[in-house]
Amino acid sequence: MTGRIENAVTVHNVSKSYGDVEALRDLSLDFPRGQLTSLLGPSGCGKTTLLKIIAGLLPASSGEVFINGTPVTGPGADRAFVFQDFALMPWATVLRNVAFGLELRGVSRSEREAIAEKYIIEVGLKGFEHSFPHELSGGMRQRVGLARALSVDADVLLMDEPFSAVDEQTRRKFQEDLLGLVQNENKTFLFVTHSIEEAVYVSDQIAILLPRPSRVMEVIRPSGFRDRDVNSIRRDPEYLDIVDRIWASLKSYVE
């Protein structure tokens, strides 16, 4: 790979099997730099498996993944993972949780806490720096996980259904906040969701995956409403048309 690399992540002919179960088969997909790509498909189609292979948490059975042109051989500082179940340390404060990735890298306490405080403010948790996870709502704990991922300044953020455990009102606020992060952080977001409406709302690109063995059925790039006010997106005719189109593609795979 030479010259300017427009795609932050490239998945090339990746397959993954668990014994006799074939989860992914020769799956190829590009993730444009600085944009949010959603992985959408039926339950069990391999979305999380693909995300973990990109993260370096699972080895592929065959094929390759490249981050900024470099092959993935394991976890790396160029990627950060936001887990569905928060994965917070219950004995640590919000500040310590957010700064933990920097602590593992040997960053000095004063520097890592300054960085952590910046992202705590950015995700809307100012005033909760010294709270513990059990003192927070589910939505607030998810914000801690997001701030931790942002604080390590990785190029690629991998998000595995990060909003699935919160109520609808909190989820909508998270979606709006995520659009702001994509615009302001200049990072590449890989986002797993089961929600068609959520995928269309937050995504620059939507990859629809077939049931296992998973392949890419279709890639959709919403355009007309992406630069408009976030409050008007759900009323935009293109948004509604894409939601209907994706549902028409997927409904035959829903049991």
Q: What is the pLDDT of residues 42-52, one digit of tens each?
A: 888 889 999 99
Q: Mind listing the pLDDT tens digit for each residue in 74-87?
A: 999 899 988 776 67
CA 87/CA 196 separation, integer angstroms:
25
- Residues in contact with 130: Cβ distance below 8 Å, sequence separation at least 6, in sequence order: 93, 94, 95
* Cross-strand pairs, 207: 39, 219
CA 69/CA 51 separation, integer angstroms:
17
CA 203/CA 234 separation, integer angstroms:
13
Task: Assign 1 a pLDDT band (cuts: 50, 70, 90).
Answer: very low
The answer to whether the CB of 11 falls within 8 A of the CB of 72 is no
The residue extents of the domains of the chain are: 31-58+74-78+156-255, 88-153
Q: Which helix (H) or strand (E) holds 7?
A: strand 7-18
Bigger pLDDT: 160 or 223? 160
From 106-110, 116-120, 167-171, the region with the lowest mean pLDDT: 167-171
From first CA to last CA, the distance across the chain in angstroms is 42
CATH architecture of 31-58+74-78+156-255: 3-Layer(aba) Sandwich (3.40)
- Residues in contact with 120: Cβ distance below 8 Å, sequence separation at least 6, in sequence order: 94, 95, 98, 126, 128, 129, 147
Q: Mind listing the pLDDT tens digit for each residue in 125-134?
A: 999 999 999 9
Q: What is the pTM of this model?
A: 0.88
Structure-derived torsion over alpha carbons of residues 106, 109, 115, 116, reported in degrees to the nearest 10? 100
Q: Is the per-residue pLDDT at 63 higher than 90? A: yes
Bigger pLDDT: 175 or 24? 24
Amino acid sitting at position 136: L
